[in-house]
Amino acid sequence: MELLRQGTLGNPQYIVVHTGTNDLHTLHRETAEAMTKMAKRASREFPDSRVVISTLLPRTDTPTHVIHDINMEIPPKHPPSPPHQHRDMGSP
């Protein structure tokens, strides 16, 4: 979010939103929504860039079902709209 605020990214071709892991212990239900809001903001500020929303990666300090549940929230409740894309980074 800080990089978006600073406006120092230039004109990137792609922006990957990979965030949320620091909030896992407190904001389970809000993490997917926050990720989507960040992607939408990136799209507004960089209309020529493709925005990719990365799912959360597995972690040893968080139960797998918590990560899975949050990742499942991203596509159905917060569908990517062009130029957003969704990529599940944690699936085998």
Token pair 């990560």 in the structure block, residue: 67
**What is the C-alpha separation between 89 and 18, in angstroms, rounded?**
10
Closest C-alpha to 16, from 42, 47, 48, 45: 42
List, for residues 71-80, the tens digit of each pLDDT value: 888 765 545 5
- Look at the block and give the residue holding tokens 């493709």: 50
Name which residue leads in pLDDT, 4 or 6: 6
Instruction: Please name each of the domains of the chain with its CATH number.
Output: 2-87 (3.40.50.1110)
Q: Is 11 left (phi over 0), alpha (psi -120 to 50) or beta?
A: beta
- Half-sphere exposure for 85 (CA within 13 Å, toward CB): 10
pLDDT at 77: 52
Global model pTM greater than 0.85: no
* pLDDT tens digits for range 16-51: 888 777 777 766 668 888 888 888 888 888 888 888
